[in-house]
Amino acid sequence: MLERIWSGWRSSYVTAAPARTGDVPEEPGSVFTRLLHSGAPDTETHIVHRGATCFVIVNLFPYTSGHLLVVPYREVVDLDGLTAEETSDLWATVTEAVRVVRAVYAPDGLNVGLNLGRPAGGSVPDHLHVHVVPRWTGDSNFMSAISNTQTLPEALVDTAAKLRAGWATAAARRQ
């Protein structure tokens, strides 16, 4: 039988969220575009890989340690806005991200997915990105269900360093 845990706090978040990004004044470009053009080094922005048409960054609000985002350089809202080259590079990079996360974290499983549009849970709805989330048996606990709190065992800078090293090792093996 399906157990349900009430999370009423989500209601205020969902109803307060603007329907479109344009409803909130902010700097031009998505958070990803602003990071890319910030001039900050990858070690500060938590970028772990740069490819031909997309890059990989540690999620700044991760579900678990090792949670990555694969993001096209170009701001695209939906999958059908990608060129053939971007589509190919995006999915090849997602596949490599899965390999790297498995090698670095040895999770029991992974979630890979997209949230297309704000109603689908997309927190950056104007810039498509693919989540790669390592999962372990029992990794959800009472902290997130009852107290709206997540516990992460390592700092983002450490996560990024491990994954960047894992990416370099994977690239060296292919050569």
Cite the active site residues. 129
Residue in 71, 96, 65 with CA at minimum distance from that of residue 160: 65
| Whole-angstrom distance, CA of residue 26 vs CA of residue 30 | 9
**Assigned token pair, 129:** 């990105």
Q: Where are the alpha helices (DSSP H) in 17-155?
A: 31-36, 42-45, 84-105, 142-147
Task: Give the β-pairing of 54-58 and 47-50.
Answer: antiparallel
Q: How many CA atoms lie within 13 A of 70 on its CB side?
A: 26
Q: In degrees, to the nearest 5, what angle opens at C-alpha 75 toward C-alphas 135 and 93?
A: 40
